[in-house]
Amino acid sequence: MRKEAGFTLIELMIVVAIIAIIAAIAIPNLLSARLNANETAAIATLRNVSSAQAQFQATAKADTDNDGTGEFGAFIELSGATDVRGDTDVGILNPPVLSGAFRTPTADGYVSRSGYYFAIFLPDSGGLGVIADDDAGGDFSTVDPDLSETTWACYAWPVNYGNSGNRTFMVNQTGDVVTTEVSGYTGTTGPDANAGYISSVTDSITGLTAVGTTGGDGNTWRQVN
């Protein structure tokens, strides 16, 4: 009579234990690698936005006060989703200076990319940052033409803090990317427009970036190298 071959219970338990140990080591490393990749992608995206803003402003396609100086734009303009400043005479930017992935912001004006939300703020007459991407056609009624010739800001924060990213980032017309780490920025709860600016300039995005000091949100912001 032939003896049937197979694994004993002890052998199976040893295999399961080994798999569990490998998983315990590998899974956190995989999650950490994904988180780091998302943060790196967010920084790269902000730098692309900075470059796109410079190109857009240089074309002077957006010049609502007709003074010959271009104004900075919103996602739906930079990506060619809609007419510049909603003006059919100006039309859609062609070619666009930003990827078509930015053409469909959420109802809040946020764009989701690689585990991060992004939002562009443009200044109103008092320097308060407003989001012009908050509907399909854009709402530029409160954007100040003079201040938006020199000022804008874009933030990036995790869609799911701790899983898709830990750090929040900001870039503005200076081209410098700054960062802070705060669990309060997650999902649709993003930073206020002045979060990364020196807190003494209340609610304004026309002040100095809070590099190495306290921002409008009470957090310390540091420059990304």
- Rounded mean pLDDT of the chain? 90
Instruction: Give per-residue pLDDT as tens, 162-203.
Output: 999 999 999 999 999 999 988 789 999 999 999 999 976 667
- Measured on CA atoms in the order 14, 20, 21, 26, is the torsion positive or negative? positive
With contact defined as beta carbons under 8 Å apart, do 169 and 178 qualify?
A: yes
pTM: 0.86
The pLDDT assigned to 3 comes to 58
Taking residue 21's Cβ as centre, other Cβ atoms within 10 Å add up to 10
The pLDDT assigned to 15 comes to 79
The pLDDT assigned to 10 comes to 79
With contact defined as beta carbons under 8 Å apart, do 86 and 140 qualify?
A: yes
The pLDDT assigned to 196 comes to 94
Instruction: Give per-residue pLDDT as tens, 14-65.
Output: 778 777 777 677 666 667 778 899 999 999 999 999 999 999 999 999 999 9
Provide the pLDDT confidence category of residue 9 given band limits of 50, 70 and 90: confident
Span 100-118, average pLDDT: 94
Provide the pLDDT confidence category of residue 129 given band limits of 50, 70 and 90: very high
Angle CA 113–119–124, to nearest 5: 165
